[in-house]
Amino acid sequence: MVPVFVDTYFEGATPLRWEQEEEGVIDLYVIHDHARFSPNQQFTQWDFKVHIPPERIGSSVRLRFARLNNCWNGRPSPAMKSKRVTSVVSYDGSTWLPLLGIPSETAEFAIEFELDLRSESTHFAHVVPYTDSRLQQRLNALRPHPSVRIYDVGATVDGRPLEMVELGNTEAPNRIFLRARAHPWETGGSWLLDGLMTLLTDDTPTSRAILETTCFCLMPMSNKDGVHRGMTRFNVKGIDLNRGWGVDTPHDPELVPENACLQNWFSEQRRAGRLPQMAICVHNDDNGRIHPSHPSIDPAGYAARLERFEGLLREETWFTEGMVGGSYRNSGTFGEGVTELYGADAFIWELNARWAEGLGRQPMHTDWQQMGANLATVVQRYFKADG
């Protein structure tokens, strides 16, 4: 047997059981996230390290994921079957390489990866990790900047502070809100906001001009408990932070303080006459499209504004995926709720974790950072045309 140790004991690592049942093959028995009082369950998060003794460097192992039975909106779905499944690998903890999954021939195991072991420690994850520690380093570096204000809007179920990062002129006529990590595994939003914050604080004439007329309000890590625990989707009470946004259903501060405090923040902004005109909840999936909401007031105006925003995204970034059309609604999402409750142009933006059509390859964290940097110009042009 290959002498191997699967390390799941670091920040954000995914808890799972593992066994080497045959030479060079490691079976991974995953732990799904479960929704509270519902059949919904999901596993799409993996983040662990494979340790080997130095004399085994240059060998490889096959990783087999077992029993990936997801359930979404009450419907069972065999996770990651007959789809392109991707992962990322790092041998030094800072540079990351893409890795394509191999559809499994056994019914028991839905997906396999052939992992080259090029160092004593190989970091293997679904998408490039973005931990709370990393976020805190970024926020500490940003705090002294004169255009940045960082404050807590509340805390998670476990008591972790939830930061709001405001960049730009407090009295700016244009305001936009973005939230990342409602679902812990989806680090794309974290990298996107990371790139956006870097651009906005680079002290060039371009960024100064943007911050003069636009205030960016960012909630960079919404489901922090899930991020710390290496979870996939729900908070630790089994609540989906991208559900339960409705006119008649305020968020329960005991079950889902992550949403309740954000709802309070939106209400405070409204009282102060500072509501964001646009609100975006950033996610990852394997389609990569914008999911518009269906407002009861001025649906045509909303559609026209989103179309303009989407057009600017296509011009300024590698975005090509487009918008979800038709009348399909995913009711209770952040987008639908915030649009209806506060009249902001709110929507869900999914970043395709598998494939970036505009790049012709699997997107990496640096691509999402780049898109975030270019988003600053998208927002500036969007509001300019608005005025």
Between 232 and 370, CB nearer to Zn ion: 232
Instruction: Check: CB of residue 280 under 8 Å from CB of residue 371.
Output: no
Distance of closest approach, residue 155 Cβ to Zn ion, in angstroms: 22
Between 186 and 321, CB nearer to Zn ion: 186
Taking CB positions, which residue lies at the least distance from Zn ion? 283
Between 49 and 233, CB nearer to Zn ion: 233
Distance of closest approach, residue 189 Cβ to Zn ion, in angstroms: 9
DSSP state string for 104-130: -SSSSEEEEEEEE--SSEEEEESS---
Q: How far apart are CA 125 and CA 41, in angstroms?
A: 20
Q: Which of 283, 289, 305, 354 binds Zn ion (CB under 5 A)?
A: 283
Q: How far apart are CA 142 and CA 174, in angstroms?
A: 21
Distance of closest approach, residue 2 Cβ to Zn ion, in angstroms: 35
DSSP state string for 210-235: HHHHEEEEEE--S-HHHHHHT-SSS-
Stretch that binds Zn ion, among 34-42, 282-290, 317-325, 333-341 (CB under 5 A): 282-290
- The vertex-59 CA angle with 55 and 63, nearest 5°, equals 125
Between 45 and 201, CB nearer to Zn ion: 45
Count residues near Zn ion (CB under 5 A).
3
DSSP type of residue 246? B
Distance of closest approach, residue 99 Cβ to Zn ion, in angstroms: 22
Stretch that binds Zn ion, among 76-84, 277-285, 299-307, 373-381 (CB under 5 A): 277-285
Task: Kindly list the strands in the beta sheet with 290-291, ordered across the sheet, starting from the edge strand earlier in the chain.
Answer: 148-155, 161-167, 214-219, 174-180, 278-285, 345-352, 290-291
Stretch that binds Zn ion, among 62-70, 115-123, 260-268, 279-287 (CB under 5 A): 279-287
Between 120 and 285, CB nearer to Zn ion: 285
Write out the two tokens for 50: 């494979």
**For residues 171-230, which are near Zn ion according to CB under 5 A?**
183, 186
Between 186 and 316, CB nearer to Zn ion: 186
Distance of closest approach, residue 281 Cβ to Zn ion, in angstroms: 8
Distance of closest approach, residue 229 Cβ to Zn ion, in angstroms: 17
β-partners of residue 124 are 48, 89
Between 49 and 251, CB nearer to Zn ion: 251
Distance of closest approach, residue 184 Cβ to Zn ion, in angstroms: 9
Distance of closest approach, residue 34 Cβ to Zn ion, in angstroms: 16
Q: Is 138 a binder of Zn ion (CB under 5 A)? A: no
Q: How far apart are CA 148 and CA 42, in angstroms?
A: 36
Stretch that binds Zn ion, among 10-18, 64-72, 153-161, 275-283 (CB under 5 A): 275-283
Q: How far apart are CA 244 and CA 280, in angstroms?
A: 16
Instruction: Check: CB of residue 14 under 8 Å from CB of residue 68.
Output: no
Contacts of 138 (CB under 8 A, 6+ apart): 194, 197
Stretch that binds Zn ion, among 13-21, 47-55, 283-291, 333-341 (CB under 5 A): 283-291
Q: How far apart are CA 355 and CA 229, in angstroms?
A: 27
Distance of closest approach, residue 282 Cβ to Zn ion, in angstroms: 9
Q: How far apart are CA 160 and CA 257, in angstroms?
A: 11
**For residues 310-369, which are near Zn ion according to CB under 5 A?**
none
Instruction: Check: CB of residue 379 under 8 Å from CB of residue 311.
Output: no
Interacting residue ranges for Zn ion, rule: CB under 5 A: 183, 186, 283
